[in-house]
Amino acid sequence: MNLIESFISALESLRANKMRTLLTMLGVIIGVGAVIAMIGIAQGARAYTLEQIQKLGANVLTVRAGQARRGGAFLGFGSVQTMKPSDADAILKSCSGLVIRASPEISSAFQVKYFNRNMRTSVTGALPEYAAIRNLTLAEGRFHNESEEHAKARVAVIGHTVWEELFQGGACIGKTIRINGQAFRVIGRLTYKGDTGFRSFDDRIYVPLSTAMRRLMGVEHVDGLSVQAVSGGEVMQTAQQCVEETLMRVHRIPSWGDPDFRVFNQGEFVETVEQTARTFTFLLAGVALVSLIVGGIGIMNIMLVSVTERTREIGLRKAIGATRVNILTQFLIESVVISVVGGLIGIGLGYGAATYISQQANWKVLVPVEGVVLAFSFAALVGVFFGLYPAWRAAQLQPIEALRYE
């Protein structure tokens, strides 16, 4: 009996017990499906989170004013009023080879009106460079320029949510809105950016920094700075160190003193997401692989039962010339076929489950090829490993004893 005949014989045996074969496959199907689903969900979540971080701007360092303390309690970042617009100039000068853009920013919530429609939203004052730092793209119009910044012009760029609320999706460029009772001309509208999980760029209005500080808020300080480094990685780490040293010097804080600011490195967010995604991928895949092993044990049990049931058949085959290798090969093929077919079904079901869950969570499913290969290979390995003992046991049966078996 050659390999092809053994394969055909194995398939006929499995087909003769369809329900038992399907139930035996079930453990492998669930195991492989769980591996594919977990990897796909974890990788999709990772990609979605990284995409949200990128929406905050490429290679961005966010500087926030420190926390003031009142009555023993911290008031939150931004409560210390020591940051000035000149801090951005000092950073650009001191870190010229590491930083390409820097913009002070200040935000506050105001009531905004357009005829009989009004809403309360956040108004951010920033320099023209802010749009490039934060990857703000315009659907129409433009961002404010240097001349409008110097003139403290009452011009505004509105986010997508503000546009929908005040203008109901209609024309807005050149129209006049009132922010805190003051008239502002709309010069630009931003494209939809979506909620990044850190801040909303859509439910926001952008005005020149000088306008926000003098006309709207009447302050001399800013809430913080957005600083764009030349690139990511080690350069970003060096840029962060330079920014911190520069602000300590400008604010006249000794090296042993507590800084009155906090620098947040976007690269650290990315690294944290990467590490968390890897940890969860290994954890979830490990749990799923356990179910594959359980499925393999199920294969072994069923194959042992099959050997017992077919003892007389084995004895007859040996009596007419089948060798131990022929018997071992046939039973091993049956075990591998169960695992491989179950693995293929599991891949399809796992991908479908991951796709459905990702759609509900509003992110794409990402199943890497290596993940599919790993799950399928492990399923085949389970078939070989757990089918080897039953196949060996069948091959060791003596023809006379097998024929006598009742």
Assess if residue 97 is contained within a domain.
yes
104 and 30 fall within a common domain: no
Residues 342 and 370 in one domain: yes
Q: Residue 43 pLDDT more than 60?
A: yes
Give pLDDT, residue 97.
Answer: 86
pLDDT beyond 90 at 20: no
What is the C-alpha separation between 386 and 294, in angstroms, rounded? 10
Q: pLDDT at position 294, please? A: 74
Instruction: Check: pTM over 0.75? Answer yes or no.
Output: no
Task: Work out the pLDDT band at 71, boundaries 50, 70, 90.
Answer: very low
- Confidence class for position 275, pLDDT limits 50, 70, 90: confident
Q: What is the span of the domain harbouring residue 367?
A: 3-52+272-404
Phi-psi region of 395 (alpha: psi -120 to 50; beta: other; left: phi over 0): alpha
Q: In terms of domains, do 345 and 230 share one?
A: no
pLDDT computed for residue 187 by the predictor: 96
Q: For 225-266, how does the pLDDT look when each residue is reduced to its tens digit (9 = 90+)?
A: 999 888 877 788 898 899 999 999 998 888 888 888 888 887
Residues 155 and 185 in one domain: yes
In a domain, 346, yes or no: yes
70: pLDDT strictly greater than 50? no
- Between the ranges 117-126, 297-306, 380-389, where is the mean pLDDT highest? 117-126
pLDDT at 129: 93
Give CA–CA dist 288/265, Å, rounded.
35
One domain for residues 106 and 217: yes
Q: Which residue did the predictor score with more confidence, 77 or 51?
A: 51
Residue 65 located in a structural domain: no
Give the pairing type, strands 117-126 and 204-208.
parallel
| Whole-number average pLDDT of the chain | 79
Looking at residues 345-368, what average pLDDT do you find?
Answer: 77
What pLDDT shows up at residue 175?
94
In a domain, 279, yes or no: yes
The pLDDT of residue 6: 59
What does the pLDDT look like over 177-201, one tens digit per residue? 999 999 999 999 999 877 655 567 8
Residue 24 has pLDDT above 80, yes or no: no
Select from 288, 289, 303 the least CA-distant residue to 384. 303
Average pLDDT score over residue span 170-183? 94
**Mean pLDDT in residue range 137-147:** 94
Could you tell me if 30 and 95 lie in one domain?
Answer: no
pLDDT band at 74 (very low <50, low <70, confident <90, very high): very low
Report the percentage of the chain scoring pLDDT > 90: 30
Domains held by the chain: number: 2
Domain termination site, one of 236, 259, 282: 259
pLDDT for res 293: 75
> In this structure, is residue 278 part of a structural domain?
yes
pLDDT value, residue 197: 52
Domain boundary pick from 238, 259, 280: 259
Burial class of residue 359 (count of CB atoms within 10 Å of its CB; 0-12, 13-18, 19+): exposed
d(CA 68, CA 12): 78
pLDDT above 90 (res 160): yes
Q: Hey, how many other C-beta atoms are within 10 angstroms of the C-beta on 140? A: 14
In eight-state DSSP terms, residue 258 is P
Task: Give 108-124 as a DSSP string.
Answer: EEEEEEETTEEEEEEEE
Q: Is residue 209 located within the same domain as residue 288?
A: no
